Copies of this chain bind each other. A is one copy, B any other.
Amino acid sequence: MNRDLRLSWTDVRDRIQARIFDRTYAPGDKLPKDDEIAEDFGCARSTVQRAMQDLSQSGIVERRRKGGTTVRADPVTRATVDIPITRREVEERGCKYDYQLIRREMEIAPKSVLARFGMKVPISLLHIEALHLADNRPYILEDRWVCTTTVPEIMNVDLAQKSANEWLVRNKPFSRCDMSFYATKASHDVAAQLDTELGDALLVIERTTWIGSEPITTVQAVTSPGYQLFTQG
């Protein structure tokens, strides 16, 4: 076999993608099975499998055992978002990072918070409010609830020095994370703390994490005006 003609899995992926682009395989169409594509391209089936795995993960095709591979009829635009530790994010912008703890109390969680955890029975959680600053200006205001049954150690952490954000991500990895993004109008309180105008439009990043089926924390991060979230790659 000529080595110069050997195809890599990215080559295979690109060629198949090209055939989808030019509608040789149109949305909804079934692709040949891996074996046939492999023979067609003169490569091993596992190479095709690797290519298909990538196309499947990108949301371009759907694969089913016995059902074969089909081009997604309703393509979705899939993107990944990276949310770094806030301190890192600020420092990477070349700004000075500061952090202020505003509040830290055990409280009965309101229904809206319990709902994010999928819980019904009211329980007492650690409620934290904190402000992240970039170059001495308010950057993100976070309103967080931590489940102290899952993370009892948090009670011994000095949250005036290090943000719960940072401590948790370094010490309590999660196995599941739900996020959502939405816009909100700055309330009187929020406007005061973010040093902005009442009624300003602000992006909110809401995050809830679990380890196994145990809730860890849920947080609403209200960003300062003009904040923009970008996708990766």
Contact = CB atoms under 8 A, between A and B. Distances in A.
A185 B184 CA distance: 9
B231 A173 contact: no
A23 B173 CA distance: 10
Given A181-B203, A181-B228, A82 B75 contact: no
Contacts of A202: 183, 201
A65 to B, nearest CB: 16
Interface string A28-52: 0000000000000000000000000
Contacts of A80: 78-81
A179 interface: yes
Contacts of A81: 78-81, 231
Most B CB contacts (10 A, CB to CB) among A79, A171, A177 go to A79
B77 A83 contact: yes
Interface of A: 17, 20-21, 23, 27, 59-60, 74-85, 88, 169-171, 173, 177-185, 199-204, 207, 211, 226-232
Nearest to A173: B21
A75 B85 contact: yes
A200 B179 contact: no
Contact of A170 (B59, B75, B170, B201): B75
B59 A88 contact: no
Nearest to A87: B74
Overall SS of chain A's interface: strand
9 contacts: A77-B84, A79-B83, A180-B228, A181-B229, A183-B183, A183-B203, A183-B227, A185-B200, A201-B201
A207 B229 CA distance: 12
Contacts of A207: 77
A6 to B, nearest CB: 18
A229 B180 contact: yes
A182 B179 CA distance: 15
Contacts of A182: 203, 226-229
A90 B182 CA distance: 18
A124 B40 CA distance: 44
